[in-house]
Amino acid sequence: MPYLNDFAHALHGKRIFSKIDIFKAFHQIPIGECDIPKTAVTTPWGLVNAPQTFMRFMHEVLRGLPFCFVYLDDILCYSENAAEHRSHLRTIFQRLSSYGLKLNISKCVFGVTELFFLGHLITPDGIKPLPDKFQAVLDYKQPETVGSLRKFLGLLNFYRRFLPKAAEQQYLLSEFLKGSKGKKDSKPLNWSSEAITAFQRCKQALADAALLAHPSPSAPLALHVDASDYPIGGELHQVVDSELQPLAFFSRKLTSSEKSYSASDRELLAIYSAIRHFRYMLEARDFTVFTDHKPLTYAFRQKSDKCSPRQIRQLDFISQFTTNIVHIPGSDNIAADVLSRVSAITFPSQIDCDCIGETQQTDQELHTLIASGTSLELKKVTFPNSSTEIMCDLSTGTARPYIPKQHRQDVFSAMHNFSHPGIRLSVHLMKQRFLWPSISSDVAKWARHCLACQKYKIHGHTRSPLSSFQEPSQRFDHVHLDLIGPLPPSNGYTYCLTMIDRFSKWPEAQHLSKT
């Protein structure tokens, strides 16, 4: 699936837009008759490959057309003028017709200067959230439970990249989510006057959301970062005619250990995290980092023995993108925050909850575990469709049932046999959902001896022998070539040809355009 925000990267200078909707998209690709019975099967992870299959098909249909962006059944066409737009639309229609695709005319929009696409309002000057979307947020009633608050924040943060100071505004609300059990958490909220004010401020922030400019491949970039006691974040701008145009906002919350960092370490962490977040937009581009912490402007001039190992690692990563760090007043920077989510899990349907609950009452290993004063948070939980209380560990934010010895291999089979994941993934999935003392070794042993895995995953016991390249006798006798791309546009180039001489190990790289 394409990255949802990528459609904005090709819109700089475009003034005419059209939206094309495919009629009953997934139904236009039939399922093979031999595979139809498989659609009756469901798993905890799903067998939902229709979006990926249809997306691959649409990429094949519209491959090589740089004037359109497709996301499932929605196609965005963009051009600089009306004449060019008619030519672009004609080309797209010919491609769709050649593959026998039909359009939903009632949902198509042609040749306009403003357009609603993928939850955004697209204009020649930039993009912003849809007006009806933030009106729904403005009318949103004050949540009464932790679960409903999480849903509200999920809706609000769909447009987080449009919201300056999002972390600062949402910090009090995110504190309510500590220890929550997901969207179904019915724990009532105790609203303070400060929290109510923060809630109203968050709703208004979306109504005042910034207009994000369309990225220009040739415009210089400026990354403004900042850190406070709780959040870090940044703003990415492009400089056009000496004017800063916002491209996106980044924010995340500091962990408990990161809150204890010194001011310099938090500011350095802000630069490091912001560059990692915007990496797909910053690679192969010239940009300047702006910070209100002046000592960081000398970070690349001091000796490495003055830095901690963590600082060295972060500076090494930053230096791969830029060493240009400039000081500006703190009032020009933005700090931000991000919310973490705790997902809930349930029993596979094949497992009898009542039977496990009864067996737990006489399980000596469980009683020993409780008496040992373990750090686990063991409590009795009633699962859906069951009246029996089951002892579970709640220390991870998810109810992990303790499985007595006689049920362990049955539980493993119920989970593993859905898709037969490898040993490492099987251990990870089981530890996320269940608990017993030797779970890692038991699951690894059972996965290693799974007959179905042994029969069909032949790569696990068939390996190609090691081989070596023949050593060349002189320079440029043998050259390795590789083509990288497409990459984010940089000065009109989207591909990179890499060349390495096998004899001298000398590397070269040459930028290439699509043509």
CB 236 within 8 A of CB 151: no
Residue with tokens 């916002």: 246
Q: What is the pLDDT of residues 450-506, one digit of tens each?
A: 887 777 665 555 666 777 778 888 888 889 999 887 777 778 788 889 999 988 889
Alpha helices in 48-192 (DSSP H): 50-61, 82-98, 131-138, 146-157, 166-175
* Weakly modelled stretches of the chain, pLDDT under 70: 3-9, 42-48, 129-140, 155, 158-159, 161-162, 164-165, 179-186, 206-211, 329-351, 383-387, 418, 456-464, 514-515
Q: What pLDDT, on a 0 to 100 scale, did the predictor assign at position 130? A: 65
* Contacts for 456 with CB less than 8 Å, ≥ 6 apart: 420
Token output for 319: 């230096």
The residue assigned the tokens 């939980």 is 381
Q: Return the H-helix or E-strand segment holding 118.
A: none
As given in the structure block, the two tokens for residue 217 are 């491949």
Q: What DSSP character marks residue 12?
A: T
How far apart are the C-alpha atoms of 288 and 318, rounded to whole Å?
A: 11
Dihedral (CA of 94, 95, 99, 101) sign: negative
pLDDT digits (tens, 9 = 90+) for 95-115: 888 888 888 888 888 888 888
Q: Rounded to 5 degrees, what angle do the CA atoms 255, 260, 262 make?
A: 120
Question: What whole-number distance in Å separates Cα of residue 212 and Cα of residue 125?
Answer: 8
Tokens of 46: 């799903």
Instruction: Give the whole-angstrom CA distance, residue 388 versus residue 383.
Output: 8
Bond into 220 cis (ω within 30) = no
Whole-number pLDDT of residue 43 = 64
pTM (2 d.p.): 0.44
